[in-house]
Amino acid sequence: MNSRTEKTSFQDNAIRSARAILDESAVEAFDIAVTLGSGWGQASRMIGETFWEQDAKNLPGFSASGVLGHAGTLRAVVTPSGRNVLVIGARTHLYEDKGVRAVVHSVRTAAACGARIMVLTNGAGGIKGHWTPGTPVLISDHINLTANSPLEGATFVDLTNLYSTRLRDVARSVDPNLDEGVYVQFRGPHYETPAEVQMAKVLGGHIVGMSTALEAIAAREAGMEVLGLSLITNLAAGISPAPLSHQEVIDAGESAEAEISALLAKIMAKL
């Protein structure tokens, strides 16, 4: 199969998913899409009124969430100002071995649904020592260490200002104290070694995780403006002397969820 045929295939998959979502939700188009990572789940109820919800596994191209802490659903929410938001609570991670297309399918579907702004959130490890668990930070750029790309064939996409300066300024108008950093995506599912964290630091990274970068690239390819936020759920390996665990990520997310979800809702009201 040549690259042109393959590209048409993933575009068709996104269009089919978008048609199903638009038909079921009775929405002509969405204005904004948001992917809710670990710790951000309550935002779906704070952004506005949910008028449609569906299990991801019941929609074309989507599958059940493979990670504890993710809702596994898609929602249509209308904000108080009347904007339609597609809330994605079903993220596919690269380490689930479903392929890069599956990882970015939700973003491509959101674009096919008309969304021009893509908000990507996650729970991640912090390299800056003063970031305590529960701290929300803006993503200013990323380093992709997955050895993968969602782009196929000779598709050359500029990633300058991938994480929109304009949208980060909007976020800071809500909370001027928001710090920012460079997100480093590893493949996972194992946590990074202390040596790998030091490598990420030397390369200019401040946040380490297992999602987001590939999705952001796909969003840029689709012409979307991207805002990225990380919830620091733990200090990265070697920054903290304590061993890492997924339960720690879940616990930190649950402790901070109400506060950061309210922050996200306020930001999205201004987008």
Q: Which residues form the catalytic set?
A: 192
- Residue recorded with tokens 């390819």: 221
Q: For residues 264 and 87, is the Cβ–Cβ distance under 8 A?
A: no
Residue 17 class from Cβ within 10 Å (0-12 exposed, 13-18 middle, 19+ buried)?
Answer: buried
User: Which H or E run includes 269?
Assistant: helix 246-270
Q: For residues 192 and 186, is the Cβ–Cβ distance under 8 A?
A: yes
DSSP 42: T
Using CA atoms, how far apart are residues 84 and 72, in angstroms rounded to an integer? 20
Which residues are bridge partners to 138 per DSSP? 180, 229
Cβ neighbors of 41 (< 8 A, separation 6 or more) are: 69, 70, 71, 89, 253, 257, 261
